[in-house]
Amino acid sequence: MKVLTTIADFRRAHATLGSASLGFVPTMGFLHDGHLEMIGRARAENDGVAVSIFVNPLQFAPTDDLEAYPRDFERDRSLLEQAGCDLLFHPDVVEIYPDGADLDVTVVPNRIASILEGASRPVHFTGVATVVAKLFNIVQAERAYFGQKDGQQVAVIKRMVRDLDIPVEIVVVPTIREDDGLAMSSRNSYLNAEQRAAAPVVFRALSSASDLFAAGGRHADSLRETMRGVLEAEPLANVDYVSIADNETLEEIIGIIDRDAMASLAVQIGPARLIDNLVLAAHRQPGL
Ligand code: AMP
């Protein structure tokens, strides 16, 4: 595995790799099994694999956890070596933003970034879309891998690729969970024992909606109420939003669910803002 810290070095290493196809997994590091699952998929579907580790300041608001965000580069490096990564891109902030964060040109996703996560974190998706567009231009991969865990991020990136004709295929990888259902996340490390014990309420709430849906429940309001009820029974959970939305546009569904939907939510538990989602497929094939 080659570790590259500059754009020029990455481009040279990519050129000498000689891989017919490159799969790319962008991350912020502090890797867990969710990341490794994506790297495994990228390994299986491409000749070469590139991973980036970059904690992107542009997607954090001043009140967010940029400074506290967990980092362990040496551990990440050895996990990536074992996982069969070929190129590890690990730039510092100045390499990506040589003029500082005050960019003249950014990629601004519109309506899709103003709702759900975007309502609570107004600058977040501009930061995400801008850095992902830059990384796509640097890495020049055939395929890029994103986790369903960040469902709105998937929707924003797919939309960006479509609207800006970026020549990369977006592959979405299912959410990897702990045994008790908690979605793996680098931010889970913020939870103390008591908060960690409360955190599976997130998956229980989503499961209550998907169980109701599987039993034929199609009223979006009832699903939202079910999720909210489960969350509110947990004193440590502060609900930001619960949502039943169109799986592609993420517009909130009013009335009957007649298309693929995403049940999603955000809660604050102690210092951690936890987000998660489940896709509700309107037209399941019989037997699946
Ligand atoms: P992060 O390092 O948290 O920015 O995440 C990098 C990528 O890993 C994103 O595409 C995430 O959606 C994905 N990811 C994070 N957690 C999980 C998980 N538990 N299962 C699957 N993918 C995940």
pLDDT of 287 > 60? The answer is no
What's the confidence (pLDDT) of residue 177? Answer: 98
Mean pLDDT calculated for residue range 101-119: 95
What's the confidence (pLDDT) of residue 19? Answer: 77
Q: CA 284 → CA 20, 247, 287, distances in Å? A: 36, 14, 8
Query: The tokens 């005050």 sit on which residue?
Result: 102
Task: Report the candidate in 144, 130, 113 with the shortest Cα–Cα distance to residue 50.
Answer: 144
Taking the centre of ligand 1 as the mean of its atom positions, its distance from the CA of residue 35, in whole angstroms, is 6
Mean pLDDT calculated for residue range 98-105: 91
pLDDT of 288 > 60? The answer is no
pTM: 0.96
Q: What homologous superfamily is domain 2-173 in, according to CATH? A: HUPs (3.40.50.620)
Taking the centre of ligand 1 as the mean of its atom positions, its distance from the CA of residue 31, in whole angstroms, is 9
Which residue is closest in CA terms to ligand 1's atom 22?
147
Q: How confident is residue 284, by pLDDT bands cut at 50, 70 and 90? A: low
Q: How confident is residue 102, by pLDDT bands cut at 50, 70 and 90? A: confident
What's the confidence (pLDDT) of residue 286? Answer: 45
Residue of 14, 32, 35, 90 with catalytic role: 35
Residue 182 C-alpha from the chain's centroid:
15
**Percent over 70 (pLDDT), the chain:** 98
Residue 100 C-alpha from the chain's centroid:
25
pLDDT of 1 > 80? The answer is yes
Taking the centre of ligand 1 as the mean of its atom positions, its distance from the CA of residue 185, in whole angstroms, is 7
Which residue is closest in CA terms to ligand 1's atom 12?
147
Instruction: Provide the mean pLDDT of the chain.
Output: 96
Provide residues with CB under 6 Å of ligand 1.
Answer: 27-28, 34-35, 37-38, 146-147, 149-150, 173, 175-176, 183-186
Domain 186-280 has CATH 3.30.1300.10: yes
Q: Where along the chain do its domains lie?
A: 2-173, 186-280
pLDDT of 23 > 80? The answer is yes
Which amino acid appears at position 265 of this protein?
Answer: L
Which residue is closest in CA terms to ligand 1's atom 7?
27
What's the confidence (pLDDT) of residue 36? Answer: 98
Cα angle 196, 37, 179; round to 5: 35
32 is catalytic: no
Q: How confident is residue 283, by pLDDT bands cut at 50, 70 and 90? A: confident
Taking the centre of ligand 1 as the mean of its atom positions, its distance from the CA of residue 146, in whole angstroms, is 7
**Gap between the Cα atoms of 227 and 247, Å rounded:** 17
**Gap between the Cα atoms of 108 and 89, Å rounded:** 24
153 CA closest ligand 1 atom index: 12
The model's pLDDT over 177-193, given as tens digits with 9 standing for 90+, comes to 999 999 999 999 999 99
